[in-house]
Amino acid sequence: MQSLTGIPVGSGVVVGRVFVLNDGQRIRAPRRAIDPADVPAELERFESARGVAIEELNGLHKHAATEMGEEAAKVFLFHIGALSDPAIVGPIRQAIEGELVSAEYASAEAIKTLADRFARHPDSTFRSKVSDLEDLSQRLLRHLTGRRAKTLADLEPHTVIVARDLTPSQTAAFDRAKVVAFATDLGGLTSHTAIIARALGLPAVVGLHDLTRHARDGQRVIVDAARGVIVLDPDDASIDAADAADQRARRSRITLHEDAEKPAITRDGVDIALVGNIEFPEEVDSVIADGGAGVGLYRTEFLYLTSDQEPTEEQHTAAYIDTVRRLGGRPLTIRTVDLGADKYTQGRSETPERNPFLGLRSIRYCLQNTEMFRTQLRAILRASAHGPMRIMFPLVTNIAEFRQAKYFLHEAMEDLAEAGEAYDENVPVGMMVEVPAAALQAKSFAREVDFFSIGTNDLVQYTLAVDRINERVAGLYTPIHPAVLKLIRDVSRVGNRGGIPVSCCGESAADPAFAALLIGLGVRTLSVTSSSLPRLKRAVRGLDSKRCERIAQKAIRFDSEADAGTYVRDRVRKLVPEVFDGWSGE
């Protein structure tokens, strides 16, 4: 039995079997000559492997479409298309027939030649396909060699995925009928893979450093997402304890859900709007089921993260209208694409940035890729004709950025007006407050924005200089830090004095202790992953805003974040003890 401790993501305790996802295990295909008489059989072998691969990909596509929607599943369509493309299939057949080489060698060489051409192509769309072609080659080779597929396609039930790291799109494609949890060496609480895990309600532990060195396929494992602990080869007593903890967590979730329909109102009668964070339109349904009053953050960049192609204006529009319709009149705050840093641009860039979190990301990226930005803005505006919506820009750091972004929005409005298309002319336009500069300048911004949404995921990392996805400094990443609280207080004050709504949409808003502070600091809208909504509602209903104010005032005066954290958690735990049972976000 061996225990490892990492960063807890989500909640729940599960027992399963390890599946090590080792992307580094490559099958090689050395040149092997065949007899002319064997050509028909070799062609037949290739055809059969191709057929099985297409079938497998269709299955993957279907699973992903059911779990996360058609848009997210598109990542598999390129692979299916490529396996039917004469530019790939033709040269493979010719090599088997003409050069008398094995189907393995012919496949690997033909795909490699195409991948090399793509890698040199001036258009980045082609360059971005290189890794897909490599994947495809490995898939064919696996079927040709009959090796057991080390892919997510043929998992057993109760699988715990163990990997060095996972991309958000890999996580989104997990087959939820089989994958019960995952654990990674890398990652932090607010990494986008962790965010997806929470969106799927999947227990996980990240930042385990060297789990992949210890774990073996098929090994029994406990994933305790409440405490951030992994137990390899657990004994019977540990398994019984894990089962009991899981039962308790389930009961607690059911109890918390009973409040889903009740209003989110504090004991002293203050209304708190509890809304959901989503990455895909389909998540709206769970936000509503979990008692959310709308969507406070739609991370639209996930349209890009799950596809190899840049989305077309129609695809943007369809996704946004779908979201608005699912909300059925409830409010939606849609954020323009927040690409860059750990999302999308680095993997595709020829010269990755040295310091991408301080680089060309979010609104900066949009303002340098204006065609892409305009396309999205037109799509958002079109959807605004279908239901209540607010538009917000991410990572705004200086006033010029906000003005420029608004200028593009007005231009898009003119485009639509000229084309006679409907949109909401009065759509509120706001900004994320996620860099200290924006928080400190809140007064200036207040003259131009319709609302503020505080993004603590980034605000904490930029205020404390702690990379949010780096497990080595995860211990320093703490939202209950007097410096962070002061920034939030200032933004909230400016907002409340000027009649500008202030919300918080960072992951920390789901932490009952931090939520109490936000309420105490005057924030009245909290936006969190849907699975966190029931617990948060229970917390809000058990809190008193005046008490929260006193707790916040005291917390802000501590010299040390450790003392502030201990004080706040102790106080809030006494006020709403039931919401801390099985809570992993501390």
Q: How far is the CB of 458 from Mg ion (least distance, A)?
A: 4
d(CA 375, CA 110): 36
Instruction: Report how far apart the first and last C-alpha atoms of the chain are (Å, whole number).
Output: 26
Block residue for tokens 């409907």: 422
Q: Which of 70, 109, 424, 434 binds ligand PEP (CB under 6 A)?
A: 434
- Say if strands 229-232 and 2-5 run parallel, antiparallel, or are unpaired: antiparallel
Q: Is 340 in contact with 394 (CB distance < 8 Å)?
A: no
Residue nearest to Mg ion (CB): 458
Nearer to ligand PEP (CB atom), residue 356 or residue 542: 356
User: Quick check: helix, strand or coil at residue 2?
Assistant: strand
The catalytic position among 79, 366, 481, 505 is 505
d(CA 423, CA 436): 33
Contacting Mg ion within 403-462 (CB under 5 A): 434, 455, 458
257 is catalytic: no
Nearer to ligand PEP (CB atom), residue 377 or residue 505: 505
Q: How far is the CB of 297 from ligand PEP (least distance, A)?
A: 6
| Phi/psi at 73 (5° precision) | -80, -10
Contacting ligand PEP within 187-226 (CB under 6 A): 190
Nearer to ligand PEP (CB atom), residue 69 or residue 455: 455
504 is catalytic: no
The partner in contact with residue 456, picked from Mg ion, ligand PEP, none with C-beta cut-offs of 5 to 8 angstroms by kind, is: ligand PEP
Nearer to Mg ion (CB atom), residue 301 or residue 471: 301
Nearer to ligand PEP (CB atom), residue 455 or residue 534: 455
Structure tokens at 417: 């007006």
Type of residue numbered 205: V
Q: Applying CB under 6 A, which part among 118-126, 199-207, 452-460, 535-543 lies near ligand PEP?
A: 452-460
Structure tokens at 92: 């493979």
Nearer to ligand PEP (CB atom), residue 75 or residue 341: 341
d(CA 207, CA 215): 15
Block residue for tokens 């729940």: 12
d(CA 180, CA 200): 11
Q: Which of 456, 463, 492, 530 binds ligand PEP (CB under 6 A)?
A: 456
d(CA 520, CA 563): 18
d(CA 87, CA 75): 20
299 is a site residue for ligand PEP (CB under 6 A):
yes
The partner in contact with residue 532, picked from ligand PEP, Mg ion, none with C-beta cut-offs of 5 to 8 angstroms by kind, is: none
The partner in contact with residue 505, picked from Mg ion, ligand PEP, none with C-beta cut-offs of 5 to 8 angstroms by kind, is: ligand PEP
* Residue 169 to residues 71, 174, 305, 365, Cα–Cα distance (Å): 11, 9, 7, 21
Nearer to ligand PEP (CB atom), residue 252 or residue 529: 529
457 is a site residue for ligand PEP (CB under 6 A):
yes
User: Quick check: helix, strand or coil at residue 542?
Assistant: helix
505 is a site residue for ligand PEP (CB under 6 A):
yes
Q: Which of 455, 501, 520, 565 binds ligand PEP (CB under 6 A)?
A: 455
Q: Kindly state the helix (H) or strand (E) to which residue 222 belongs, with its residue range.
A: strand 220-224
506 is a site residue for ligand PEP (CB under 6 A):
yes
Q: Is 204 in contact with 10 (CB distance < 8 Å)?
A: yes
Q: Applying CB under 6 A, which part among 171-179, 371-379, 456-464, 484-492 lies near ligand PEP?
A: 456-464
Site string for Mg ion, 384-403 (x = CB under 5 A): --------------------
User: Quick check: helix, strand or coil at residue 152?
Assistant: helix
CB atoms within 10 A of CB 152: 18
- Could you list the active site residues? 192, 505
Site residues, ligand PEP (CB under 6 A): 190, 297, 299, 338, 434, 455-458, 505-506
- The residues that touch Mg ion, with contacts defined as CB under 5 A, are 434, 455, 458
